[in-house]
Structure 1
Amino acid sequence: MAKRRSKTRKSRKQQKSAQAQSQTPNKGKHRARSKQSPASPQRKSPQAAQPDDVMLSTVDWHLLDLEQAVHLPGCIQPHGVLLACEPEHLTIRFASDNTEQFFEQSATQLLGQTLKQVFPQAQFVKITNVLQESRDRISDGANRLVEWTLNREESNTPLHILIHRNVDDLILLEIIPSLSSTPQAFLNFYQTVRDAAHALQKAPDFETLCQRMTQEVADLTGFDRVMVYQFDDQWNGEVIAETCKSELIPMLGLHFPDADTRPCRLLYGDHWSRMIANVNGNNVNIVPPCHRDTDMPLDLSHSIVRGFSPCHQEYLQNMEVGASLVLSIIYNNRLWGLVSCHHSTTSYFSYEVQQACEFLSQVFSVELGSKRQQQNYDYHIQLKNTQAQLVEQLTQQDDFRAALLSGPQTLMNLFNASGVAVFWQNQLQTLGTVPEEPAIADLIDWLDEQDNPNLFTTEQLGQVYPPAVDFKTVASGLLAIKISSQNYLLWFRPEILQTVNWAGNPDEIVMNIDDDGLVRLSPRGSFAVWQETLQGHSLPWQSCEIEVAQDFRQGIINIVLSQAAALKELTQELARSNAELERFAYIASHDLQEPLNLVGSYVQLLEMRYADELDQDAREFINFAVEGVGHMQALIDDLLAYSRVETRGESFKPVHLSEVLTRVLNQLRPRLEERQTQVNHEPLPTVWGDNIQLTQLLQNLLANSLKFCQTESPDIQIRARELPEQWQLSIQDNGIGIEDQFHERIFLIFQRLHTRDEYPGTGIGLAICKKIVERHGGRIWVESKLGQGATFHLTLPKVPEPDDSAS
């Protein structure tokens, strides 16, 4: 990674050129402030931004002076000595400008010499052995330790030589004093580290784990303050645990902006520790300052004595820190947070103590993963159980929306949301507190345009979708699952107002622009508590919620695909059934009608030719035969009509029911006049349907009213009532009525309540009416009491509105 970074870095000349081409603000000091969107935090600070303020978010961090590039400081801390040599001949190419304390030669004198010329023979052999045995390990930036006792007349000085290979393929040797004591002291120290690790592993929960980490590191290092510092999604940090001396002002609960750690986070993600023993000390320059080929400083990414930038030094001094140690916390292969250690004075401790702190940080990272998983386990199981119940409801119900919103489990039970919406097949249904319907429709259109639309989550909807600012109180948080285009499940969370305590004004970063046009940062000078109020934020969506949402989406898709397969099979079965009905209709209209006609004709011929020879019984028998043939023909005609409602219907178009009624009354006029029937009707609407079938429908219902009316003057009333999407037609008569128990039965085929002698007919007429109404997407039912007449109600579709988009 460092190699890639070095390629993107610009030389000083390139930086100057880039600055000259850009519109650089006037040179001097400028306050950096973060931009605010409508849903951004509303800070309480009364200070207003000045016209010449440099916005922190507009700074190109790659154009900062190279002294701000933390892995290329060009210097080391003064308690160590550094040599860098090429790997083939071990010739020294770089040296820190303090080599006299160990080698009695200046850095300039050492350049060009080999390690063999510089170190005693025995020590040189140790170094070369390490280089040969640990080639792969040191190539990954890991340090290998070689002990060295520097023998001088006045004393013997124990030293550590730490060896690693940097990204430029140079061998780096860092020489630091060894502060280790007797073997017995080391065994005691080992026991202390083991007990500290055991204490972390036995922590019962996450909060205890963090607090124990601060206490154990404080005991190991003796530092005045140790904090566990957690990053959020925007890389702002919060102190979530702290151990500090009683005389210090606690920092627990304070937040630090991402700019405080931005320059060094990449290195923290690759290294477990960073030690600055003397914040107030002066760095020691490296000779020469840059590679002669690349004009770049020596890469010290893995160096433990790497120098520090003036900006970072001033930052720590402003916090009254004399020494610092930072330990990385890695969770899910990502920098999760830091253990930040401060001491008020200079503090040197052994390399072994620093390694022990690294070990505790690694133990903490492992236990963090375990505790976080344990913390989410119960909630995750609850989510999975609710998801399984919802999927089961979907498999058992035909109505998709009802299965998700009105069953024993609903979408509201799945996640901690204040409202949900189901937009399915262009119909919206909601539950709980949600935005207005037009706002949800616009939101769904916006979601359809996003690059990753299958699952979308945010806790600041107004920041990514500005119209949501208008309904942030009910929907600042959104989790959206896309089943297919314009088919969505939405969960909403309301705005939660939060007050955040910052360690100083997070916007107060001073930038100096020097005569070369280079930007150099200076940290803020105050860390007093500074408050802001967060608006437009909801509770965040947890990772287990997002995981369950993804599984739930896949479960729904599987159900939809299964239902589609079942629907395809049903469609094929219906096609076969329709084909059989067509074959039956052909047989009924030809093969059955022809012998019936033949029987009827010969029976009537028999009656005509032998009329004088037949007695009364014979004539009666012949009449029975003729009536039976007529009834069979009527039955066949009605069966044909019933079977052809679906297969032989006309396409739908506007049908004027008033015209249909006039036509039916003309056809029934002889019977109506014979019975002196009164037919009264309101103006009837225009509906969307099959003209021929609607004529048959009204004719059957009116004929039914005439048939089952025993009074001398039947009275029939026809009314129409408008519904939201349909018209309701009612036909009322003063006939014999129908008992309650038969209200459903009369619409079944071949169901008769009376004998043919009482009321002639085939028992198919109302079944045909029901089939016609259902083909039009409506329903038919009856309201009646025995002896009090009957009212038949039916619904028919309205004429659809013209499609403006098609014009």
Structure 2
Amino acid sequence: MEKIINENVLIQSLLQCTPDFMYFKDVNCRYVAVSNSYATQLNSTAFDMVDKTDFDFMPVELADKLFLEDKKVIQTGEALVDKLEKRKCPRGSDMWLSVTKVPWKNAAGEIVGIIGVCREMTERAEREKHILDMLSIATHDMRGPLISIGSMIKLLIRGAFGSIDESVKVTLLDISGRLGRLEKLMGEYLCKSSLMNVKTPDKEFLDLRQDIIDPILEEFLSEIEENNIRIDNRLGAIPGNKVIIQANAKWIRIVYRNLIRNAIKYAASGQIAFGFEDKGDHYQLNVYNSGPPVHPDKWTTIFEKFESSDSTGLGLAICRNLIQKHGGNMWYENTWDDHPNFIFTIPK
């Protein structure tokens, strides 16, 4: 005899047994049913949570965030899938969760609420952080020697240690190019690991010219000289005075290093200039080069990951992300004489 198992029994069995935090909410974001594991996590019971909302169990700020998130799924019908987020447990410890929310529909296809599943990912997140830490250490330790080797090869090419055969010079140029690409690749992985490990920057007061721009220009001195590039480091109308900003030194160096590297690439035998304006509640900075302009169709997409065919395609995406983590923004526009100009802001 065929056994017909009531769907409610199946759902109740799932809610009782699953280790995941699972719940059903109605269109008013009230709990209809929850898993035992979720109720336990919130220091409650599955029975007591019915007809209540997140505001009954969570801090107001978090409950507000979840309410808006739930309402968006209900109103748009678009699922939220595998969103990784960090939450504070009622017991005080931090927890990483993979959050999925989908519209809950009745037999007529009408949305009557949401179904949510939160899977604890703390162990995986910590493991990934450890991997990123190791990647950061490895790339940082290897990048310095690579830069030194590259500089030595450039000196050989320029005849600093005596003349060399043309065939040897061609080989050294090829090696130099490969080292440059490898160094850039490692630099971008270093940036990416730094970006993923830190959510909020530690800020300090920095002399923009002395602490940031000049040291990076020194790093690229040989490339600047080889390409006959003129540097305008007067920072607009402040040629001699110190320009002090408050920012994360490591992150701002990453931004300027990427922008200067790109400027050198496209401004051969031209000029690179740096700008600074005090806009009241924020600083506006820019890096200009006299190379060919970016087509208007690319003004937005150049900041997207993998848009560039060079190296990892992460450089400008990382730069904008770092600036946004400071609370600022980054964009591109052509100058009045049709040359590239990358502009970004940093709040005071």
Larger Rg: 1
TM-score by length of 1: 0.23
Q: TM-score, normalised by structure 2?
A: 0.49
